[in-house]
Amino acid sequence: MKRLHTVPDTAAPGARVDRYLSDELQISRAKLKALFEAGLVRIDGRRVPKGALVPPGARIEIELPDEPTQGALQPEPEQPLAVLYEDTALVVLDKPAGVPAHALDASDRGSLAGALIARYPECAWASPDAPFEGGIAHRLDTETSGVILAARTPQTYQALRERFACRRIEKRYAALVGGLPTERGEIALPIAHHPTDPKRMVACADEALQARLKAREALTRYTLQAWHADDFALLDVEIPTGVRHQIRVHLASIGAPIAGDRLYGGPAIDGLERHFLHARHIALDHPSTGKRIEIEAPLPRDLTDVLERLAHGATR
Protein backbone atom coordinates (compact mmCIF):
# COMPACT_ATOMS: atom_id res chain seq x y z
CA MET A 1 0.00 0.00 0.00
CA LYS A 2 1.43 3.37 -1.02
CA ARG A 3 1.01 6.41 1.13
CA LEU A 4 1.66 9.89 -0.27
CA HIS A 5 2.39 13.02 1.71
CA THR A 6 3.22 16.50 0.48
CA VAL A 7 5.27 18.67 2.80
CA PRO A 8 3.63 22.09 3.24
CA ASP A 9 5.43 25.00 1.59
CA THR A 10 5.38 26.67 4.98
CA ALA A 11 7.28 23.84 6.69
CA ALA A 12 10.60 24.71 8.28
CA PRO A 13 13.55 23.55 6.13
CA GLY A 14 16.20 21.17 7.39
CA ALA A 15 14.11 18.50 9.13
CA ARG A 16 15.33 14.89 8.86
CA VAL A 17 12.88 12.76 6.91
CA ASP A 18 12.70 9.96 9.52
CA ARG A 19 11.90 12.40 12.33
CA TYR A 20 9.45 14.28 10.14
CA LEU A 21 7.54 11.13 9.26
CA SER A 22 7.55 9.92 12.84
CA ASP A 23 6.06 13.24 14.04
CA GLU A 24 3.68 13.98 11.18
CA LEU A 25 2.42 10.52 10.23
CA GLN A 26 2.81 8.75 13.58
CA ILE A 27 4.88 5.90 12.14
CA SER A 28 6.95 4.05 14.73
CA ARG A 29 10.73 4.35 14.61
CA ALA A 30 11.12 0.57 14.30
CA LYS A 31 8.86 0.47 11.26
CA LEU A 32 10.55 3.53 9.75
CA LYS A 33 13.97 1.93 10.18
CA ALA A 34 12.73 -1.15 8.30
CA LEU A 35 11.17 0.97 5.54
CA PHE A 36 14.34 2.97 4.95
CA GLU A 37 16.56 -0.12 4.97
CA ALA A 38 14.28 -1.73 2.38
CA GLY A 39 14.37 1.39 0.18
CA LEU A 40 10.63 2.01 0.50
CA VAL A 41 10.76 5.77 1.17
CA ARG A 42 11.13 8.28 -1.67
CA ILE A 43 11.32 12.06 -1.81
CA ASP A 44 10.26 13.48 -5.17
CA GLY A 45 10.61 10.04 -6.72
CA ARG A 46 14.12 9.25 -5.40
CA ARG A 47 14.98 6.72 -2.68
CA VAL A 48 16.53 8.41 0.32
CA PRO A 49 18.30 7.39 3.54
CA LYS A 50 16.70 8.13 6.88
CA GLY A 51 18.99 11.10 7.48
CA ALA A 52 17.95 12.94 4.29
CA LEU A 53 16.58 16.46 4.76
CA VAL A 54 13.02 17.32 3.78
CA PRO A 55 12.61 20.51 1.71
CA PRO A 56 9.34 22.46 1.89
CA GLY A 57 6.92 21.36 -0.82
CA ALA A 58 8.56 17.92 -1.21
CA ARG A 59 6.41 14.95 -2.18
CA ILE A 60 7.10 11.95 0.07
CA GLU A 61 6.06 8.49 -1.09
CA ILE A 62 6.05 5.57 1.35
CA GLU A 63 5.38 1.99 0.29
CA LEU A 64 3.81 0.40 3.34
CA PRO A 65 3.44 -3.39 3.48
CA ASP A 66 0.00 -4.58 4.48
CA GLU A 67 -0.29 -4.94 8.22
CA PRO A 68 -0.21 -8.53 9.48
CA THR A 69 -3.68 -9.87 10.14
CA GLN A 70 -4.75 -11.21 13.50
CA GLY A 71 -3.09 -14.55 14.03
CA ALA A 72 0.06 -13.57 12.13
CA LEU A 73 3.52 -14.82 13.11
CA GLN A 74 4.72 -13.08 16.26
CA PRO A 75 8.26 -11.73 16.72
CA GLU A 76 10.47 -13.46 19.28
CA PRO A 77 13.22 -11.02 20.28
CA GLU A 78 14.46 -13.37 23.01
CA GLN A 79 15.52 -15.96 20.42
CA PRO A 80 19.17 -15.76 19.26
CA LEU A 81 19.88 -14.87 15.64
CA ALA A 82 23.25 -15.41 13.89
CA VAL A 83 23.52 -13.10 10.86
CA LEU A 84 26.13 -13.98 8.23
CA TYR A 85 25.26 -11.23 5.73
CA GLU A 86 22.73 -8.44 5.31
CA ASP A 87 21.86 -5.63 2.92
CA THR A 88 18.66 -3.79 2.04
CA ALA A 89 17.29 -6.80 0.12
CA LEU A 90 18.64 -9.90 1.86
CA VAL A 91 19.43 -11.39 5.24
CA VAL A 92 21.54 -14.56 5.35
CA LEU A 93 21.40 -16.51 8.60
CA ASP A 94 23.28 -19.36 10.24
CA LYS A 95 20.47 -21.61 11.50
CA PRO A 96 21.31 -23.65 14.59
CA ALA A 97 20.37 -27.32 14.77
CA GLY A 98 17.16 -28.05 16.63
CA VAL A 99 15.42 -24.86 15.53
CA PRO A 100 12.70 -25.09 12.85
CA ALA A 101 13.11 -22.59 10.04
CA HIS A 102 9.39 -21.76 9.78
CA ALA A 103 6.52 -21.62 12.21
CA LEU A 104 3.58 -23.92 11.55
CA ASP A 105 0.93 -21.47 12.73
CA ALA A 106 0.51 -18.24 14.69
CA SER A 107 0.77 -20.00 18.05
CA ASP A 108 4.03 -21.77 17.16
CA ARG A 109 7.08 -20.51 19.07
CA GLY A 110 10.81 -21.08 18.79
CA SER A 111 11.19 -20.80 14.99
CA LEU A 112 13.97 -19.01 13.16
CA ALA A 113 11.29 -16.94 11.40
CA GLY A 114 10.07 -15.58 14.74
CA ALA A 115 13.59 -14.50 15.70
CA LEU A 116 14.14 -13.02 12.24
CA ILE A 117 11.09 -10.72 12.21
CA ALA A 118 11.97 -9.46 15.69
CA ARG A 119 15.16 -7.93 14.30
CA TYR A 120 13.97 -7.31 10.73
CA PRO A 121 10.22 -6.48 10.96
CA GLU A 122 9.90 -6.00 7.21
CA CYS A 123 10.56 -9.72 6.70
CA ALA A 124 7.11 -10.39 8.15
CA TRP A 125 5.60 -8.96 4.95
CA ALA A 126 8.17 -10.28 2.49
CA SER A 127 6.42 -13.62 1.90
CA PRO A 128 2.72 -12.63 1.74
CA ASP A 129 1.58 -16.02 0.47
CA ALA A 130 3.52 -17.81 3.21
CA PRO A 131 2.91 -15.70 6.33
CA PHE A 132 4.66 -18.03 8.77
CA GLU A 133 7.92 -18.11 6.80
CA GLY A 134 8.98 -14.56 7.65
CA GLY A 135 10.58 -14.07 4.24
CA ILE A 136 12.71 -17.24 4.50
CA ALA A 137 12.97 -18.43 0.91
CA HIS A 138 13.87 -22.13 1.29
CA ARG A 139 13.93 -24.92 3.86
CA LEU A 140 16.35 -26.72 6.11
CA ASP A 141 15.29 -29.67 8.25
CA THR A 142 14.98 -28.83 11.93
CA GLU A 143 18.12 -30.80 12.87
CA THR A 144 20.14 -29.44 9.93
CA SER A 145 22.29 -26.39 10.68
CA GLY A 146 23.73 -23.77 8.39
CA VAL A 147 23.13 -21.11 5.76
CA ILE A 148 19.59 -19.99 5.03
CA LEU A 149 18.34 -17.08 2.90
CA ALA A 150 15.62 -14.60 3.83
CA ALA A 151 14.14 -11.70 1.85
CA ARG A 152 13.40 -8.24 3.22
CA THR A 153 10.95 -7.28 0.47
CA PRO A 154 8.28 -9.18 -1.50
CA GLN A 155 10.19 -8.48 -4.72
CA THR A 156 13.33 -10.11 -3.34
CA TYR A 157 11.36 -13.08 -2.01
CA GLN A 158 9.82 -13.70 -5.43
CA ALA A 159 13.21 -13.35 -7.12
CA LEU A 160 14.80 -15.86 -4.74
CA ARG A 161 11.98 -18.37 -5.22
CA GLU A 162 12.37 -18.10 -8.99
CA ARG A 163 16.14 -18.61 -8.74
CA PHE A 164 15.67 -21.72 -6.63
CA ALA A 165 13.12 -23.08 -9.12
CA CYS A 166 15.51 -22.45 -12.02
CA ARG A 167 18.48 -24.01 -10.14
CA ARG A 168 20.42 -20.75 -10.15
CA ILE A 169 21.40 -20.85 -6.47
CA GLU A 170 24.30 -23.08 -5.44
CA LYS A 171 23.81 -24.98 -2.17
CA ARG A 172 26.59 -27.08 -0.66
CA TYR A 173 26.51 -29.19 2.49
CA ALA A 174 28.89 -31.11 4.73
CA ALA A 175 27.61 -34.63 5.48
CA LEU A 176 29.24 -37.39 7.50
CA VAL A 177 28.03 -40.80 6.35
CA GLY A 178 28.50 -44.43 7.30
CA GLY A 179 29.47 -46.84 4.56
CA LEU A 180 31.93 -46.62 1.72
CA PRO A 181 30.70 -44.32 -1.07
CA THR A 182 32.75 -43.77 -4.21
CA GLU A 183 35.04 -40.74 -4.32
CA ARG A 184 32.39 -38.82 -6.22
CA GLY A 185 28.94 -39.59 -7.49
CA GLU A 186 25.58 -38.34 -8.69
CA ILE A 187 22.18 -39.58 -7.52
CA ALA A 188 19.21 -38.74 -9.72
CA LEU A 189 16.34 -40.69 -8.18
CA PRO A 190 12.94 -38.98 -7.86
CA ILE A 191 11.69 -38.62 -4.29
CA ALA A 192 8.14 -38.97 -2.94
CA HIS A 193 6.34 -39.00 0.37
CA HIS A 194 6.42 -42.46 1.91
CA PRO A 195 3.08 -44.20 1.26
CA THR A 196 2.56 -45.28 4.88
CA ASP A 197 4.88 -43.18 7.09
CA PRO A 198 4.20 -39.41 6.98
CA LYS A 199 7.56 -38.63 8.61
CA ARG A 200 9.58 -40.26 5.84
CA MET A 201 10.37 -39.70 2.19
CA VAL A 202 11.35 -42.43 -0.27
CA ALA A 203 13.60 -42.59 -3.34
CA CYS A 204 11.78 -44.15 -6.31
CA ALA A 205 13.75 -46.06 -8.93
CA ASP A 206 10.67 -47.71 -10.44
CA GLU A 207 8.75 -45.54 -12.95
CA ALA A 208 5.38 -46.99 -11.95
CA LEU A 209 6.11 -46.15 -8.29
CA GLN A 210 7.20 -42.65 -9.29
CA ALA A 211 3.89 -42.08 -11.03
CA ARG A 212 1.78 -43.62 -8.26
CA LEU A 213 3.46 -41.61 -5.50
CA LYS A 214 3.83 -38.43 -7.60
CA ALA A 215 7.57 -38.36 -7.03
CA ARG A 216 9.50 -35.13 -7.62
CA GLU A 217 12.72 -34.85 -9.59
CA ALA A 218 15.78 -34.72 -7.34
CA LEU A 219 19.50 -34.49 -8.08
CA THR A 220 22.31 -34.88 -5.54
CA ARG A 221 26.05 -34.72 -6.26
CA TYR A 222 28.74 -35.58 -3.74
CA THR A 223 32.53 -35.55 -3.47
CA LEU A 224 34.55 -37.40 -0.85
CA GLN A 225 36.50 -35.07 1.42
CA ALA A 226 38.02 -37.44 3.98
CA TRP A 227 37.86 -40.97 5.36
CA HIS A 228 37.45 -41.43 9.10
CA ALA A 229 37.64 -44.29 11.58
CA ASP A 230 35.11 -47.11 11.45
CA ASP A 231 34.24 -46.50 7.80
CA PHE A 232 32.86 -42.98 8.14
CA ALA A 233 33.25 -40.59 5.22
CA LEU A 234 32.95 -36.80 5.17
CA LEU A 235 31.28 -35.63 1.96
CA ASP A 236 30.82 -32.32 0.22
CA VAL A 237 27.26 -32.44 -1.17
CA GLU A 238 25.58 -30.22 -3.75
CA ILE A 239 21.85 -30.24 -4.49
CA PRO A 240 20.61 -28.30 -7.54
CA THR A 241 17.07 -29.37 -6.60
CA GLY A 242 15.34 -29.04 -3.25
CA VAL A 243 13.05 -31.88 -2.16
CA ARG A 244 12.22 -32.61 1.48
CA HIS A 245 14.92 -34.80 3.12
CA GLN A 246 16.67 -35.02 -0.27
CA ILE A 247 20.26 -35.50 0.86
CA ARG A 248 19.29 -37.86 3.66
CA VAL A 249 17.13 -40.04 1.42
CA HIS A 250 19.55 -40.11 -1.52
CA LEU A 251 22.60 -41.02 0.54
CA ALA A 252 20.69 -43.71 2.39
CA SER A 253 19.57 -45.12 -0.96
CA ILE A 254 23.19 -45.87 -1.95
CA GLY A 255 24.05 -47.47 1.40
CA ALA A 256 25.69 -44.39 2.93
CA PRO A 257 23.16 -42.96 5.43
CA ILE A 258 24.07 -39.83 7.35
CA ALA A 259 25.56 -40.39 10.79
CA GLY A 260 23.02 -39.82 13.54
CA ASP A 261 20.04 -39.97 11.17
CA ARG A 262 17.83 -42.46 12.96
CA LEU A 263 14.94 -41.93 10.53
CA TYR A 264 16.95 -43.29 7.59
CA GLY A 265 19.20 -45.80 9.34
CA GLY A 266 22.28 -43.70 9.97
CA PRO A 267 24.93 -45.08 12.34
CA ALA A 268 25.08 -43.66 15.87
CA ILE A 269 28.12 -41.85 17.26
CA ASP A 270 28.51 -41.17 20.97
CA GLY A 271 27.93 -37.50 21.67
CA LEU A 272 26.17 -36.80 18.35
CA GLU A 273 22.61 -35.79 19.23
CA ARG A 274 21.36 -35.10 15.68
CA HIS A 275 22.16 -36.01 12.11
CA PHE A 276 25.51 -34.78 10.80
CA LEU A 277 24.30 -32.47 8.01
CA HIS A 278 25.31 -28.81 7.74
CA ALA A 279 24.49 -26.28 5.00
CA ARG A 280 27.94 -24.81 4.73
CA HIS A 281 27.83 -22.66 1.57
CA ILE A 282 25.40 -20.77 -0.63
CA ALA A 283 26.15 -18.71 -3.75
CA LEU A 284 23.88 -16.64 -5.96
CA ASP A 285 23.65 -13.60 -8.18
CA HIS A 286 22.22 -10.86 -6.02
CA PRO A 287 18.55 -10.30 -6.96
CA SER A 288 18.95 -6.50 -6.94
CA THR A 289 22.51 -5.85 -8.14
CA GLY A 290 23.34 -9.02 -10.08
CA LYS A 291 26.66 -9.19 -8.21
CA ARG A 292 27.79 -12.69 -7.25
CA ILE A 293 27.75 -13.29 -3.51
CA GLU A 294 29.01 -16.36 -1.66
CA ILE A 295 28.28 -17.02 2.01
CA GLU A 296 29.90 -19.64 4.25
CA ALA A 297 28.67 -20.96 7.59
CA PRO A 298 31.41 -22.59 9.67
CA LEU A 299 30.88 -26.11 10.93
CA PRO A 300 29.29 -25.81 14.40
CA ARG A 301 31.05 -27.02 17.51
CA ASP A 302 28.99 -30.18 18.01
CA LEU A 303 30.06 -31.40 14.56
CA THR A 304 33.71 -30.38 14.81
CA ASP A 305 33.84 -32.25 18.12
CA VAL A 306 32.64 -35.39 16.32
CA LEU A 307 35.36 -35.06 13.68
CA GLU A 308 38.01 -34.56 16.36
CA ARG A 309 36.86 -37.68 18.17
CA LEU A 310 36.88 -39.65 14.91
CA ALA A 311 40.44 -38.50 14.30
CA HIS A 312 41.37 -40.13 17.60
CA GLY A 313 39.46 -43.29 16.84
CA ALA A 314 36.67 -42.76 19.40
CA THR A 315 33.25 -43.10 17.85
CA ARG A 316 30.84 -45.34 19.76
- Of 3.40.50.2300, 3.30.2350.10, 3.40.1080.10, 3.40.1710.10, the CATH number of 67-166 is 3.30.2350.10
Answer whether 67-166 and 167-316 agree in fold. yes
Mean pLDDT taken over the chain: 89
User: Has residue 68 got a pLDDT over 90?
Assistant: no
Average pLDDT over residues 210-215: 94
Average pLDDT over residues 268-281: 96
Give the residue with greater pLDDT, 171 vs 65.
171
Domain residue spans in the chain? 2-63, 67-166, 167-316
User: Has residue 11 got a pLDDT over 70?
Assistant: no
| Cβ 242 vs Cβ 164: under 8 Å | yes
Q: Which of 10-19, 67-76, 166-175, 249-258 has the lowest mean pLDDT?
A: 67-76
| Cβ 242 vs Cβ 190: under 8 Å | no
CATH 3.20.20.80 fits 2-63, yes or no: no
Third-level CATH fold of 167-316 = Pseudouridine synthase (3.30.2350)
Indicate which residues carry an active-site annotation.
141
Average pLDDT over residues 266-279: 95
Q: Which of 27-31, 36-40, 78-82, 262-266 has the lowest mean pLDDT?
A: 27-31
| Cβ 134 vs Cβ 74: under 8 Å | no
Average pLDDT over residues 230-256: 95
Q: What is the pLDDT of residue 316?
A: 52
| Cβ 154 vs Cβ 162: under 8 Å | no
User: Has residue 280 got a pLDDT over 90?
Assistant: yes
Name the residue among 18, 6, 2, 1 with its Cα closest to residue 60. 6
* pLDDT interval class at 70 (50, 70, 90): very low
Contacts of 32 (CB under 8 A, 6+ apart): 18, 21, 22, 41, 50
